Chains A and B, each alone.
Chain A
Amino acid sequence: MRGRGLRAPPPISLMTRGSLFLRKIIWALITIFVVITFNFFLFRVLPGDPAKAGVKDPRLSPQAVAALQQRFGLDKPVLFNTQGGNLFDSQYFRYLGALAQGDLGTSYAYKSRPVTSMLGRALVNTLWLVLPAQILAIVLGVLLGLVAAWRRGTKLDVSALIFALFTWALPTFFLGILLLFVGSRYLGLPTGGRITIGADYASFWATAGDVLRHLLLPTLTFALVLLGEYMLIMRSSVVEVFSEDYILTAKAKGLTTFQIIRRHAFRNAMLPIVTLIALNLGFTVSGAIQVETVFSWPGLGKLTVDAVAQRDYPLLQGAFLMLAVSVVVANLVAELVYLRLDPRVTEV
């Protein structure tokens, strides 16, 4: 008894839990592979074949077209090369091979710039925007939802509910425009971008301050949009947990409300939130696209919209892949966190 104590490790043997972790990771890898393949065919199957569109410029001579087609590998068969030679000398396997080396082709619009490096820089910028906003929204949403549930039916609860409904109905880009309108006209905040153009700051801190000023409104927009939903889910999750029998047991044991929440309710109530964060990552992408468009923030979302505007298909294809893979990876992380939180899960 003593040796094992009460802080014994989760009772499900490490083997089963471990293989569950492994299965989740394998499933995520399979999903990523399917995304990659899906991405390849998406850009070739749909009418208007973008891969060819790039070489369809009527000003090009037939020789030039042929040369371009050869350069992009468009003269090869799509899936398998059955015309003799190497079976895998096809567009699909060339795409996979290039991808394995981190090569996503070169942008049409930004002449000859490699897509991979453009995406890498944009991803970093997006994370600077998304992570603080998510953290802010989760912390505030969880706290407000908890209080609203605890004081169910009071004025505070009702106002929280109305607030959440409004932020839910508010399109992200519209909220961004409203904040931009007020912030730029009345509060002297920048109208967009990552840094003031032409400014030359003496120190790192001055530069950082300028970037933070640019980040303020987009982060706020994003956080507000996410906040309402987190709050609603936390509220209903907490109400549900608070009506569980073991909460009555905890109360009968003579615990204070604060102790009951901290020791018995919080972790159980957080489980749906973790699921929601995972499910909401698609929503995060949508939010990033809208916020970055409104505030000209040079992240993945803005890059995607710019690629659409310029019909820059290699860039669009790369951006789509990046977005989809980020969501799959983030989803995996959320599922692993869920596994850590709930000892009961033994089946996927």
Chain B
Amino acid sequence: MRGWARFRRSKMGMIGAVMLLVAVVVAVFAPWLAPYDPYAPSSPTIEDIYAPPSGEHLLGTDDGGEDVLSGLIYGSRVSLIVGFSAATISLLIGGLIGLVAGFRGGRVGNLLMRITDFFLVIPDIALQIVIVAIVGQSLRNIILVIGVLGWTPTARLVRAQTLTVRERKFVLRARAVGGSDRYILRRHVLPQVLPLMLANTVLEISLAILAESTLAFIGLGDPTLISWGQMLNFAFTRGAVSAGAWWALIPPGLGIVWVVLGTTLLGNALEELLNPRLGRHFLEKEPPTQATPGTAPEQPELLLSIKDLKVTFEVGAAPVVAVDGVSLDVCRGEAMGLVGESGCGKTTTMLAALRLLPPGGAIAGGNIWFEGRDLAALRPNELRPMRWRQFSMVFQGAMNALNPVKTVGWQIAEAIRQHEPTVTADEAAARAGHLLETVGIGGDRAGDYPHEFSGGMRQRAMIALALACGPGLVVADEPTTALDVMIQAQIMDLLAALRAELGMSLVLITHDLGVVAESCDRAAVMYGGVVVEQGTIAEVFRDPQHPYTRLLLAAFPDIDQPDRPLASIPGTPPRLDEIPPGCRFAPRCPHAFERCHTERPPAYPLGPRREAACFLVERTWQGVTDG
């Protein structure tokens, strides 16, 4: 019933359903609704022909002196009968062929798809015209022709859906335990394919109605029945335009528009229900940021200083707080590891810091001091010249971070020329090649497209891209995830070497504590959208103060104590819309006491650039401040 609740919220779908319902009611009750019987024999006089609307004939009369309103009401019957029956036939034929082609695959499936492709290029309407003209224009023939010829789109759709379902785990499992094809089709595949098939059928109804009216308009309707297309054909060919009889033309046309619009709206809403599209993108107008007024920190060694950053996301009605008061400092030439489980706000924090939040995300407070300017307060066009030149980012999953239809070298050269307009195309190309060589890719591969690179190469190409303009800060988001250990080590060594050579700062987002210990100067641990502990590598790894840090470390294998059993942290990080009132880690913390559940612990400074947000360290902190 959740589907129904979601459908009711779709305005367009509801409008469509109501429109269609009205048409069905009119069609069913036509004899009671129509003021005249258009099928009754009549003997019109010359005054009856194309009589304008009057009290007697609300929509006037047509070329035969018949009441247009009655024709409009009765005409709905043919449209709906043809629409529903033809779409059902298309569904049955197309569904069956699509299912078999998708499920069986192999030679049978190929042959079926070749046939489908063939009929897809034959213009439907031409074939419909030829066949109806030859076999005769009865309602039955028209339904059959439209229905049978409408199977191709359904077959393609069902085949594609079946192909994806066929590879799902539950189908493979059913096959592995020896389920017969028929059983798997009926119990596992059909239920997955059917909803999409039905949504598609609703759209097929609108196509069938359009096809029927077109056939009727060009004189291939059933001559014994009144349909909207037929009414338009008669009125148009018998002088309604020159007579100015708009009332004989507009009502039947609007009748068609009504049912087609209704079914289209309904079908689209159903499809949207099954295949929700987010529909948001990266180029939407940014919401105004709410930077807190403040002054830049005085220390010249600070490159990036995030102060009390707050990030919200629109999810449904109320915004959700994804990052709640994060403060982080990165000095020049320093490498900081940002660690924590997935969903703790590491990436969101850094995307917000570089003003690259995805649509729906917004900076709701705080400052991002970078070289004396607050990035949170800058307008997009003030920010643009700083991007990539002063700070760049190695995005997670470099698979899709490079444009598939541009060469890798071009994409690197583009960044160079964007920020150094005096550089010629050739120079930029040469530098791009050199950068690729720096990350261990032959410069001659600069003309390759991303899909011609392996995953590791793409990751390294992304790093080369991030270094293109010699930025002061590089944020690398999981640069080694999903790569094998050898490549991981290569990439981390590369980053360390480049950092030493270029003197840039690095923020490394990862959940791999080993990588952080090896390649960073400092570490910050995040949990549930806040920083729970930070300090130098030695401090955080040797002397962890927050229970979460301790558990994270215990969950990580230690080469010095290979026999130590690995711990795991029961439970999962809190959902952003269900943040607990006190300490966010309290529900999973083995040391939590009453106060932890009601009061949020502040970040206690335990030394220079060393802090932990836990009530357990309050006493140590008092010791620090007293001493």
B-facing residues in A162-184 (Cβ within 8 Å): 165-166, 168-174, 177-178, 180-181, 184
- Write out the residue numbers on chain B whose beta carbons fall within 8 Å of the beta carbon of A64: none
A-facing residues in B111-141 (Cβ within 8 Å): 118, 120-127, 129-131, 133-136
- Write out the residue numbers on chain A whose beta carbons fall within 8 Å of the beta carbon of B214: 171-173, 286, 289-290
- Indicate if A20 sits at the interface (CB-CB under 8 A): no
State whether B232 touches A11 (Cβ < 8 A): no
- Write out the residue numbers on chain A whose beta carbons fall within 8 Å of the beta carbon of B129: 289, 304-305, 308
Query: Which of A181, A236, A285, A311 is in CB contact (< 8 Å) with B133?
Result: A311
- Indicate if B65 sits at the interface (CB-CB under 8 A): no
Q: How far is the CA of A171 from the CA of B359 in the complex (A)?
A: 38
- Write out the residue numbers on chain A whose beta carbons fall within 8 Å of the beta carbon of B264: 165, 168-169
- Write out the residue numbers on chain A whose beta carbons fall within 8 Å of the beta carbon of B285: 151
Q: Which residue of chain A has the shortest Cβ distance to B233 in the bound complex?
A: A173
State which of B273-281, B362-370, B537-545, B602-610 sits at the interface with chain A.
Answer: B273-281
Q: Which residue of chain B has the shortest Cβ distance to A249 in the bound complex?
A: B401
Contacts A165-B261, A289-B218, A304-B126 given; does A152 touch B281 at CB 8 Å:
yes
- Indicate if B241 sits at the interface (CB-CB under 8 A): yes
Q: How far is the CA of A215 from the CA of B386 in the complex (A)?
A: 54
Q: How far is the CA of A343 from the CA of B429 in the complex (A)?
A: 20
Residue of A1, A4, A320 most packed against chain B (CB within 10 A): A1
- Write out the residue numbers on chain A whose beta carbons fall within 8 Å of the beta carbon of B449: 10-11, 343-344
Query: Which of A31, A170, A171, A263 is in CB contact (< 8 Å) with B118?
Result: A31
- Write out the residue numbers on chain A whose beta carbons fall within 8 Å of the beta carbon of B277: 236, 239
Q: How far is the CA of A253 from the CA of B394 in the complex (A)?
A: 11
- Indicate if A149 sits at the interface (CB-CB under 8 A): yes
Contacts A50-B134, A254-B418 given; does A247 touch B236 at CB 8 Å:
no
- Indicate if A202 sits at the interface (CB-CB under 8 A): no
State whether A308 touches B133 (Cβ < 8 A): yes
- Indicate if B76 sits at the interface (CB-CB under 8 A): no
Query: Which of B131, B283, B402 is in CB contact (< 8 Å) with A249?
Result: B402
- Write out the residue numbers on chain B whose beta carbons fall within 8 Å of the beta carbon of A14: none
State which of A120-128, A135-143, A205-213, A322-330 sits at the interface with chain B.
Answer: A322-330
B-facing residues in A217-250 (Cβ within 8 Å): 236, 239, 242-250
Q: How far is the CA of A48 from the CA of B214 in the complex (A)?
A: 23
Query: Which of A50, A251, A344 is in CB contact (< 8 Å) with B282?
Result: A251
- Indicate if B213 sits at the interface (CB-CB under 8 A): yes
Q: Which residue of chain A has the shortest Cβ distance to B402 in the bound complex?
A: A246
Query: Which of B134, B219, B279 is in CB contact (< 8 Å) with A46?
Result: B134
Contacts A6-B410, A324-B121 given; does A152 touch B387 at CB 8 Å:
no
- Indicate if A2 sits at the interface (CB-CB under 8 A): yes
State whether A6 touches B124 (Cβ < 8 A): no
Q: How far is the CA of A39 from the CA of B159 in the complex (A)?
A: 28
- Indicate if A79 sits at the interface (CB-CB under 8 A): no
- Indicate if B75 sits at the interface (CB-CB under 8 A): no
B7 CB to nearest chain A CB (Å): 18
- Indicate if B590 sits at the interface (CB-CB under 8 A): no
State whether A4 touches B444 (Cβ < 8 A): yes
- Write out the residue numbers on chain A whose beta carbons fall within 8 Å of the beta carbon of B410: 6
- Write out the residue numbers on chain B whose beta carbons fall within 8 Å of the beta carbon of A150: 283
- Write out the residue numbers on chain B whose beta carbons fall within 8 Å of the beta carbon of A47: 134-135
- Write out the residue numbers on chain B whose beta carbons fall within 8 Å of the beta carbon of A8: 407, 446-447
State whether A253 touches B388 (Cβ < 8 A): yes
- Indicate if A309 sits at the interface (CB-CB under 8 A): yes
- Write out the residue numbers on chain B whose beta carbons fall within 8 Å of the beta carbon of A254: 384-389, 415, 418-419
B14 CB to nearest chain A CB (Å): 15
Q: Which residue of chain B has the shortest Cβ distance to A317 in the bound complex?
A: B130
- Write out the residue numbers on chain A whose beta carbons fall within 8 Å of the beta carbon of B125: 282, 285-286, 289
Query: Which of A11, A309, A341 is in CB contact (< 8 Å) with B447?
Result: A11
State whether B387 touches A248 (Cβ < 8 A): no
B-facing residues in A287-317 (Cβ within 8 Å): 289-290, 293-294, 304-305, 308-309, 311, 316
- Write out the residue numbers on chain A whose beta carbons fall within 8 Å of the beta carbon of B354: 252
Query: Which of B219, B279, B409 is in CB contact (< 8 Å) with A305?
Result: B219
- Write out the residue numbers on chain B whose beta carbons fall within 8 Å of the beta carbon of A170: 253, 257
- Indicate if A342 sits at the interface (CB-CB under 8 A): yes
- Indicate if B585 sits at the interface (CB-CB under 8 A): no
State whether B356 touches A251 (Cβ < 8 A): yes
Q: Which residue of chain A has the shortest Cβ distance to B130 in the bound complex?
A: A320
State whether B123 touches A6 (Cβ < 8 A): no
Q: Which residue of chain A has the shortest Cβ distance to B236 in the bound complex?
A: A177
Q: Which residue of chain A has the shortest Cβ distance to B211 in the bound complex?
A: A286
- Indicate if B395 sits at the interface (CB-CB under 8 A): yes
Contacts A46-B135, A191-B241, A245-B395 given; does A6 touch B217 at CB 8 Å:
no
State whether B433 touches A174 (Cβ < 8 A): no
State whether A248 touches B213 (Cβ < 8 A): no
Q: How far is the CA of A292 from the CA of B446 in the complex (A)?
A: 53
Interface 0/1 of A259-283, CB less than 8 Å to B: 1110110011000000000010110
B610 CB to nearest chain A CB (Å): 32
- Indicate if B448 sits at the interface (CB-CB under 8 A): yes
State whether B430 touches A2 (Cβ < 8 A): yes
Query: Which of A34, A168, A316, A327 is in CB contact (< 8 Å) with B123?
Result: A327
State whether A286 touches B124 (Cβ < 8 A): yes
State whether A46 touches B426 (Cβ < 8 A): no
Q: How far is the CA of A304 from the CA of B399 in the complex (A)?
A: 52
Q: How far is the CA of A267 from the CA of B405 in the complex (A)?
A: 8
A-facing residues in B336-388 (Cβ within 8 Å): 354, 356, 358-359, 384-388
- Indicate if A85 sits at the interface (CB-CB under 8 A): no
Q: A interface vs B, CB < 8 Å?
A: 1-2, 4-6, 8, 10-11, 31, 34-35, 38, 42-43, 46-48, 50, 149-153, 165-166, 168-174, 177-178, 180-181, 184-185, 191, 236, 239, 242-257, 259-261, 263-264, 267-268, 279, 281-282, 285-286, 289-290, 293-294, 304-305, 308-309, 311, 316, 319-320, 323-324, 327-328, 331, 341-344
27 contacts between A and B (CB under 8 A): A1-B433, A2-B426, A4-B447, A6-B428, A172-B214, A173-B214, A173-B218, A177-B241, A177-B249, A239-B277, A239-B279, A246-B401, A247-B282, A248-B282, A248-B395, A248-B401, A251-B356, A253-B415, A254-B386, A264-B403, A286-B124, A286-B125, A289-B218, A293-B217, A304-B126, A341-B405, A343-B451
| The 8 residue pairs across chains A and B that have the minimum distance between CB atoms | A8-B447, A242-B281, A254-B387, A174-B253, A286-B125, A285-B123, A169-B261, A245-B400
Q: B interface vs A, CB < 8 Å?
A: 118, 120-127, 129-131, 133-136, 206, 210, 213-214, 217-220, 229, 232, 236, 241-242, 244, 246, 249-250, 253, 256-257, 260-261, 264-265, 277-285, 354, 356, 358-359, 384-389, 392-393, 395, 397, 399-407, 409-410, 413-415, 418-419, 425-426, 428-430, 432-433, 443-444, 446-449, 451-452, 465
Beyond A1-B443, A281-B123, 5 additional contacts (C-beta under 8 Å) are A1-B433, A181-B241, A249-B465, A255-B384, A290-B217
